[in-house]
């Protein structure tokens, strides 16, 4: 819980394209059995083929589960895509949208990300909307303008639904690289994102949880999570080991 604002900490795992039925069984059981009594909410965003496994392993526990992406479309001739309704069918609560890997490897534009956030909400899912700058953009002094543009594209379409999203700041240069933004660097960007959220709607915007993502690990989580506008983490690599994922959650 963020003591000044009462935003409950959210620790979300992004497994990316990792896992197997056998490995997931161990990981899910480890997370489930260690998740009781935590001060943070927990969720794991798993590859689509493993949603049924996550649902069966985590049902009745305090751990939620979700997808890593969803289609912009509700249904139809979109071979290979997974709809928001399908994610809901498997009990998902969350879905990541606009992860930098989707933006860079799959050409997802701000408009597509905004459309996916709306689609998620229409299906009763909470979108975890990712924003973040590349190293070149940071070095050119464009961090604020890049993340503001990315977030505004989503805010512009949300209307009254602003309070229903989660935002994750993930500097691209810190994802999977072992380089973490310092707590102060991350807080500076989170404060800018908070200003935008509150500017769009003072009450709803101050309640939106802002996660940090980018090489968050047990040994740096406490300092990051202590910052005023860091309300949780989106965890890649360290979410693949139950004890690391839980250690991060215990730092909250
Ligand atoms: C991510 O992919 O969302 C992420 C934050 O990865 P990592 O923790 O491995 O940097």
Which band of pLDDT confidence, cut at 50, 70 and 90, is reported for residue 46?
A: very high
List the structure tokens of 85: 């309704």
What's 77's DSSP letter? Answer: S
The verdict on residue 178 lying in a domain is yes
- Using DSSP, state whether 169 is helix, strand or coil: strand
Q: At what angle do helices 110-122 and 143-158 cross, to 10 degrees?
A: 40
Provide mean pLDDT across the span 188-202.
97
Given a cut of 90, whether residue 54 has pLDDT beyond it is yes
pTM over 0.95, yes/no? yes
Is position 243 annotated as part of the catalytic site?
Answer: no
For the chain, the domain total comes to: 1
Interatomic CA distance for residues 205 and 133, integer angstroms: 22
What percent of the chain is predicted at pLDDT more than 70? 98
List the structure tokens of 80: 């290979």
Provide mean pLDDT across the span 79-84.
98
Minimal-distance CA residue to ligand 1 atom 1: 236
List the structure tokens of 134: 């590349």
According to DSSP, the residues that pair with 169 across neighbouring strands are 131, 212
- Using DSSP, state whether 246 is helix, strand or coil: helix
Tens of pLDDT along 120-175? 999 999 999 999 999 999 999 999 999 999 999 999 999 899 999 999 999 999 99
According to DSSP, the residues that pair with 7 across neighbouring strands are 2
Interatomic CA distance for residues 132 and 57, integer angstroms: 32
Ligand 1 centroid vs 73 CA: distance in angstroms? 26
Phi and psi torsions of 67, nearest 5°? -100, 175
The verdict on residue 53 lying in a domain is yes
The verdict on residue 2 lying in a domain is no
Is position 99 annotated as part of the catalytic site?
Answer: yes
Instruction: Tell me the CATH number at 209.
Output: 3.20.20.70
Give me the domain span that covers residue 197. Answer: 9-250
The verdict on residue 226 lying in a domain is yes
Given a cut of 90, whether residue 1 has pLDDT beyond it is no
| Number of Cα atoms under 13 Å in the Cβ half of residue 103 | 20
Interatomic CA distance for residues 50 and 21, integer angstroms: 7
pLDDT of residue 170: 97
Task: Give the residue carrying structure tokens 């102060």.
Answer: 184
Ligand 1 centroid vs 176 CA: distance in angstroms? 5
Phi and psi torsions of 128, nearest 5°? -100, 100
Tens of pLDDT along 59-68? 999 999 999 9
Minimal-distance CA residue to ligand 1 atom 7: 236
Ligand 1 centroid vs 92 CA: distance in angstroms? 20
According to DSSP, the residues that pair with 211 across neighbouring strands are 168
Interatomic CA distance for residues 40 and 129, integer angstroms: 19
The verdict on residue 4 lying in a domain is no
pLDDT of residue 4: 58
CA-99 nearest atom, ligand 1: 3
The verdict on residue 3 lying in a domain is no
Interatomic CA distance for residues 123 and 211, integer angstroms: 22
Interatomic CA distance for residues 167 and 148, integer angstroms: 12
The verdict on residue 217 lying in a domain is yes
Which band of pLDDT confidence, cut at 50, 70 and 90, is reported for residue 6?
A: confident
């Amino acid at each position: 819980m963020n003591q000044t604002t009462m935003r409950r900490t959210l620790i979300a795992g992004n497994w990316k394209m990792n896992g197997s039925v056998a490995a997931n069984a161990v990981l899910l059981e480890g997370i489930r059995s260690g998740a009781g009594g935590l001060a943070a909410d927990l969720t794991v965003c798993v590859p689509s083929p493993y949603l049924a496994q996550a649902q069966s392993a985590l049902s009745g526990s305090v751990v939620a589960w979700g997808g890593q992406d969803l289609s912009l479309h509700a249904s139809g001739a979109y071979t290979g895509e997974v709809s928001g309704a399908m994610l809901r069918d498997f009990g998902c609560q969350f879905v990541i949208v606009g992860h930098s890997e989707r933006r860079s490897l799959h050409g997802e534009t701000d408009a597509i990300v905004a459309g996916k956030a709306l689609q998620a909400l229409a299906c009763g899912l909470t979108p975890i909307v990712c924003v973040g700058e590349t190293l070149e953009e940071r070095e050119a002094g464009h961090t604020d303008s890049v993340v503001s543009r990315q977030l505004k594209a989503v805010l512009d379409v949300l209307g009254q639904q602003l309070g229903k999203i989660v935002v994750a700041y993930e500097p691209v240069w810190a994802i999977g690289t072992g380089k973490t933004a310092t707590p102060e660097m991350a807080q500076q960007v989170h404060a800018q994102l908070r200003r935008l959220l509150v500017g769009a709607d003072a009450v709803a915007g101050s309640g939106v949880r802002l996660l940090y993502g980018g090489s968050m690990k047990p040994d740096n989580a406490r300092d990051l999570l202590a910052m005023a506008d860091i309300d949780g983490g989106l965890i890649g690599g360290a979410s693949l080991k139950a004890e690391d994922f839980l250690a991060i959650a215990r730092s909250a």
